[in-house]
Amino acid sequence: MNEDKAKVEGYRDLIVWQKSITLVKQIYQLTQNFLTDEKFGLISQMRRAAVSIPSNIAEGQARRTTGDYVRFVSVAEGSLAELDTQLIVAIELSFCTKIQIKEIFSLMVEIRKMLNALPRSLMSKIN
């Protein structure tokens, strides 16, 4: 799936989308160990927020206007912030530890940087 920067034909070619899919897998694996009582609470919220990130990147890339794309990237950033908060809640409730999610937080920092840069990159192409 990884291709050079000049050859982005669809959302699947975007490294930020690929990393977001990895994040989804990591969140699903992490939440498998949460209390069953949280199935419709925090587990569901975390999984939905995680899935929302690559989904909004994909939908934005499929839109016909740069403005729409930028808006969907913004929604993906919001979902990432939501997931960050939910992970902190999970730590505070002792569902997981900081050590367990260190890799997840590192991946989220990478994704956040890419999402922050994407709108600037998109806007520079139309200016």
Q: Across all residues in the chain, what is the average pLDDT? A: 91
SS3 assignment, position 86: helix
What local confidence, expressed as pLDDT, does residue 126 receive?
64
Structure tokens at 77: 């950033």
In the chain the domains, ranked by start, together with CATH numbers, are 11-126 (1.20.1440.60)
Determine contact, residues 20/119, Cβ cutoff 8 Å.
Answer: no
Instruction: Specify the residue for token string 């995680």.
Output: 50
Query: What are 35-65's pLDDT values in tens digits?
Result: 888 888 999 999 999 999 999 999 999 988 8
Residue 10 has pLDDT above 60, yes or no: yes
- Among 50, 74, 51, 54, smallest CA distance to 122 is for 74
Confidence of residue 17 (pLDDT cuts 50, 70, 90): very high
Whole-prediction pTM value?
Answer: 0.89
